[in-house]
Amino acid sequence: MRSQPEWQWLKVSWTCSSERDNDTCQGNDQVDLHTQLWHECAGLTVKVPRVGDKVFYFPQGHLQQVEVYMKQEGMSDIPSYGLPSKILCKVVCVQLKAEVDTDEVFAQITLIPDFEEPKGSTFRSVPQKIPATSFRKKLTPSDVIKQGGCNLHKKHVDQTFPPLDMSQDAPSQELFAKDLHGKIWNFHHICRGVPKRHILTTGWGKFVSAKRLVVGDTCIFLRGQNRLYVGVQRAVRLNKLSTDLSCVNMQHGILLTALEAINTRTEFTVYYHPRISPSGFIVAYNDFMESLKVNFSPETRVEMVLDEGGEEPEFNLKKFSGIIIGKEDVDPSRWPESEWHCLKVCWHGTASGDVPPKRVSPWSIQSVVSVPQPQKRSMIGEGIRMKEVSIPKVNNIPREDDERSKKCRVFGVDIGGHRISNTHPPDSSNAGNQQSSYIKVLKHGSFVGRCVEVSRFSGYGGLMWELDRMFGFQGGLVSGTSGWIVTYNNNNAAAADGDGDANKKLLGDVSWSEFRGVVRKMCICPKEKEEAATWNKISG
């Protein structure tokens, strides 16, 4: 039997307090819940610039998206109109939306050509995220057949849904969840049966049929302080025959729109469909510049991370490794020497499932300095579910030379096996600046991190803990002189080490509830032992 008072409370609390929950875009300083939901649906590797960012717009990538969108193969034979392969722009407006009929996410991005190179630091503070928790449910056959509801995982419900009064026989509540269109969906959430399990009953069937969900699709629940959100991520794209206008018409239009925008220095708007073309054609200035510094000569071993969807956010990411086999123009006649998809990669062991594209852009991959040996997988760091990990106790911290610290993989990235030096930098040429130090990059890889509660990770110790835990050291580096260099979110460079406040300025005033980017394992070591590794200077 449903408890009427609780239902009343929830209805009031969860649907009528939109003024307390920020679910619409309000400026550039907050990651609102709509945006968080959109990114969950888009995939964890998708990057969307923020208003004010300097970006490169690659028309070739845009044309390619249209071809996939229209299901036309091969490059059309249209002129380049003298358009350069990349156009430096400033982001004027970003709207994160979803298709009305298919719920496919897309970003409407307004750009204005601005060829002025950014001066000085391009660092931008990471926007404050509105505290939220979320979980993903990959739908089983039972979830989508007409006869049943949706089975939920206990831990997901406990972490994300409002608590039920478990003293009751079959506690239940009404949930009201907003989708990306702003539509409110009503679900009856009940904990019943022997043994007890959490089920979404009334309302679930309507949702499944309305969204045309099938087995394998993923349903995403995101809970803010006062409101619940729901999104979907399909395993296979719904057919959407767009017969409005011809593919060639659109491609002409895309190029000409950009050309006119350049000539008149006016805004133009593009639509980015991350589920169609994961390799975005709008690339952050910093990302692009960083990728230029890397030497992607043939034989270079590279890695690329794809988001393969599924249930656990951390395990959506699958890393592929391969070897550069060449660098050549995709379209030498129209866009010679374009960086877009200029690298040819031979990927290893990608017999089944998603495969990275044979052609990639430099900013989409990372070069691997040392070729890792095939290692036996260690349980440490392998398969850690962040939300299950509690804050490590002090007596749990492994020594640096602990066997566990030497062999570990996180998200498919080999991390351990390198000795961490405790040596302080011997050569402080700019000794006057106490916040300066040299670090040596030993290891690097892409990552996406996330915490259950923001408060738990406030401050830089929290960040360090999070990073350490992600890479399997469980706090071993929280105090010490080694640390990590981090390139996060929109490619703002930052560093975190065990010295607490040393890099505080670099990090800015951020809440590390979620961050994604590239982490490089570093340790402070004698400069003369430079070897083939990369040296970076971190200054406060």
Partner DNA sequence: TTGTCTCCCCTTGGGAGACAA
Partner DNA sequence: TTGTCTCCCAAGGGGAGACAA
Nearer to a second copy, 104 or 466 (CB): 104
Nearer to DNA, 194 or 241 (CB): 194
Among 248, 294, 369, 389, binds a second copy (CB under 8 A): 248
Burial class (CB in 10 A: 0-12, 13-18, 19+), 75: middle
Nearer to a second copy, 105 or 518 (CB): 105
DSSP symbols for 435-448: T-EEEEEEEEEEEE
Q: Which stretch binds a second copy (CB under 8 A): 122-130, 166-174, 243-251, 381-389?
A: 243-251
Q: Which one of a second copy, DNA, none is in contact with 497 (Cβ closer than 5 to 8 A by kind)?
A: none
Min dist. Cβ of residue 3 to DNA (A): 12
Q: Which stretch binds DNA (CB under 7 A): 76-84, 198-206, 228-236, 253-261?
A: 198-206
Could you say whether residue 140 binds DNA (CB under 7 A)?
yes
Q: Which residue has the tokens 């990302």?
A: 287
Size of the chain in residues: 540
Q: Which one of a second copy, DNA, none is in contact with 195 (Cβ closer than 5 to 8 A by kind)?
A: DNA
Could you say whether residue 72 binds a second copy (CB under 8 A)?
no
Nearer to a second copy, 37 or 519 (CB): 37
For residues 73-92, which are near a second copy according to CB under 8 A? Answer: 78-79
Could you say whether residue 119 binds DNA (CB under 7 A)?
no
Could you say whether residue 194 binds DNA (CB under 7 A)?
yes
Q: What is the CB neighbour count within 10 angstroms for residue 272?
A: 24
Q: What is the distance between the alpha carbons of residues 327 and 324, in angstroms, rounded to a whole number?
A: 8
Among 108, 140, 209, 396, binds a second copy (CB under 8 A): 108
- The DSSP bridge pattern shows strands 172-178 and 228-233 to be parallel
Q: What is the distance between the alpha carbons of residues 345 and 421, in angstroms, rounded to a whole number?
A: 34
Among 113, 149, 381, 498, binds DNA (CB under 7 A): 149
Could you say whether residue 257 binds a second copy (CB under 8 A)?
yes
Radius of gyration of the chain (CA): 24
Q: Which residue has the tokens 């994300």?
A: 160
> Which long-range contacts link 72-77 to residues 24+ away (Cβ below 8 Å)?
72/247, 75/331, 76/247, 76/248, 76/251
Q: What is the distance between the alpha carbons of residues 285 and 490, in angstroms, rounded to a whole number?
A: 10
Q: In which element (H, E) is residue 136 found?
A: strand 133-138
For residues 174-193, which are near DNA according to CB under 7 A? Answer: 188, 190, 192-193
Q: In which element (H, E) is residue 186 found?
A: strand 184-192
Among 125, 225, 246, 434, binds a second copy (CB under 8 A): 246
Min dist. Cβ of residue 317 to DNA (A): 21
Bridge partners (DSSP) of residue 94 are 109
Min dist. Cβ of residue 151 to DNA (A): 3
> Phi, psi at residue 4, to the nearest 5°?
-60, -45
Inter-residue contact 38 to 98 (CB < 8 Å): yes
Q: Which residue has the tokens 């809970």?
A: 223
Rule CB under 8 A: which residues touch a second copy? 66, 69, 78-79, 97, 99-101, 106, 108, 239, 241-246, 248-257, 260, 268-271
Rule CB under 7 A: which residues touch DNA? 140-143, 145-149, 151-155, 170, 188, 190, 192-199, 201-202, 204-206, 209
